[in-house]
Amino acid sequence: MESKTMISDRLREQALDLNLFERAKGYAYDYMSKILDQPVFPDDKAIAGLDRFREPLPETPGDPYEILERLHNNGSPATVAQTGGRYFGFVNGGAVPAALAAKWLSDTWDQNAALYLISPIASVLEEVCEKWIVSLLGFPENTAAGFVSGSSTATLCGLTAGRNDLLSKLGYDVNKKGLFEAPALRVIVGEGAHSTIYKALSIIGLGSERLIKVPAGEDGSISVKAIPEMDDRTLLILQAGNVNSGAFDDFETICGKARTAGAWVHVDGAFGLWTAASGELCHLCKGVDLADSWSVDAHKTLNAPYDNGIILCRDREALTNALHMSGSYIIYSDHRDGMLYTPDMSRRARIVELWATLKALGKSGVSELVEDLHHKAVYFAKSLEQNGFIVKNDVCFNQVLVSLGDPVLTKNALNGIQNSKVCWCGGAEWNGDPVIRISVCSYRTTYEDIDRSVETFIKAKAHALAGC
């Protein structure tokens, strides 16, 4: 018992040491002030510095000041500058300043957002944000929202709710009976569906071999004419923003048919669904409100800090029936109990920074941010075309696919861009050929950042050509 008392006393003393937290704040400020000039991807020296973390678990308690120092001196340089202005790899947004500050405060609160009785503030902010988001996106008034880690988890929730609801309407209770004797469902997906869709379908027992895959059009959206007849055993998955081209499916036509047939429609809108809140780009999401469930990330287009995923479901009861749990120690209230809308019970109050993001932006700010990302993606694409690159997609939102017309040249140019550390882009395949994939997602990106990145592309192109 003595050792436990000793460490508890030490931790209590550290909790009152304001200098420790001032030191952490100073390191954070130092990182923020240098992020715009830091290499977008860590250099070799920074990567080598990570060896300082590779050690056996210490036998005795560590010095908190030394812990912070090591994290800053060896950890900060080895981060990817995702919150800078020249990171275009994957679809990772920046962090709205008010939301980042709110996250610092809420981390100190360290709230468990499971129940109102555990955290009233988390409950109320979830209630508020649900209403704000539903209104912002133009969804049916009673649409429910669950706040999860990311759109992968949100997709899992939406597909589970859809599976269970379809089976329930066929007279089968999957919560009680499992899938052992369940009626067969038909799952329809587009060929361009994100890999997380297949992962979620596998987890909920719908596999991959029996899926009906619908060909994609030239832009990556699902071919409307190729979608087979739907019925009340059909789970259909659509996209608001193809992961590579950014293309949107024809929601108005497809969802109208699905509703008539009694099918369940889930929309993977990880980054593209936010265009519904834009006066200029909302046409991309026309008819998306006719779907049954939607998954979206706030830490992508909306620029909320990681991790902030959202599952939205037209039928509140369908979502809660799929995710609820019970126990004699669980005390539900007359207020919002967030665990009813997510797979998790214990989870951090990520809603605090989402609320701060929405509060800081407001309706007009969300619209302007979405449109600004689009305008900069178009500018990026035109600048590259003017310098001999081939843009393979119609830049309908924030995704740009670039090629040099030759697979080897394109790959070599991509390697040169990534090795430059000036900017960072990922690669993908488009219609069987390699492409450079650019995602413009951060409010920190300026036109100057794009010009500087285009210069890097030009140099990488020249080196690739010289190498041949």
Separation between Cα atoms, residue 20 and residue 113, nearest integer Å:
27
Phi, psi at residue 238, to the nearest 5°?
Answer: -120, 175
pLDDT for 42: 96
**pLDDT, position 440:** 98
Question: What tokens were used for 267?
Answer: 């929309």
Q: Can you give the pLDDT at residue 208?
A: 83
Q: In the chain, helix, strand, coil percent, each to 5?
A: 50, 15, 40
Q: Does residue 1 have a pLDDT over 50?
A: no
Residue 304: closest CA among 145, 424, 442, 439: 442
- Looking at CATH, the fold of the domain delimited by 102-358 is given as Aspartate Aminotransferase; domain 2 (3.40.640)
- What pLDDT digit, counting tens, does each position of 415-444 carry? 999 999 999 999 999 999 999 999 999 999
Reply yes or no on whether the pLDDT at 4 is more than 70: no
| pLDDT grade for 33, boundaries at 50, 70 and 90 | very high
Per-residue pLDDT reduced to its tens digit, 142-164: 999 999 999 999 999 999 999 99
Comparing 102-358 with 364-467, is the CATH topology the same?
no
Token pair, residue 2, equals 């003595």
pTM: 0.95
Q: What is the pLDDT of residues 305-354, one digit of tens each?
A: 999 999 999 999 999 999 988 888 888 899 999 999 999 999 999 999 99
Residue among 417, 408, 422 nearest 467 (CA): 408
Residue 2 has pLDDT above 50, yes or no: no
Percent above pLDDT 70 for the chain: 99
Mean pLDDT of 242-268: 97
**Assigned fold of 364-467:** Aspartate Aminotransferase, domain 1 (3.90.1150)
Specify the pLDDT at position 27.
97
Rg of the chain taking only CA atoms, in angstroms: 24
Mean per-residue pLDDT, 77-89: 95
* pLDDT tens profile 188-239: 999 999 999 999 999 999 988 889 999 999 999 999 999 999 999 999 999 9
The mean pLDDT of 17-36, rounded to a whole number, is 95
Pairing of strands 390-391, 212-214: unpaired
**Dihedral Cα 181, 182, 185, 191, nearest 10 deg:** -70
Sorted by where each begins, the domain ranges of the chain are: 2-77, 102-358, 364-467
Average pLDDT over residues 160-185: 96
What is the arithmetic mean of pLDDT over 31-44?
94
Helix (H, G, I), strand (E, B) or coil at 424: strand
> pLDDT value at position 468?
64
Could you tell me if 417 and 427 are in contact, meaning their C-beta atoms sit under 8 angstroms apart?
Answer: no
Structure confidence at residue 210 (pLDDT)? 85
pLDDT for residue 303 is more than 90: yes
Question: pLDDT tens, 223-233?
Answer: 999 999 999 99
Q: Give yes or no for a contact between 467 and 412, defined as CB atoms under 8 angstroms apart.
A: yes
Beta-strand runs (E) in 104-233: 144-148, 186-190, 212-214
pLDDT number for residue 320: 96
- What is the percentage of the chain residues whose pLDDT exceeds 90? 94
Task: Say what the pLDDT of residue 5 is.
Answer: 62
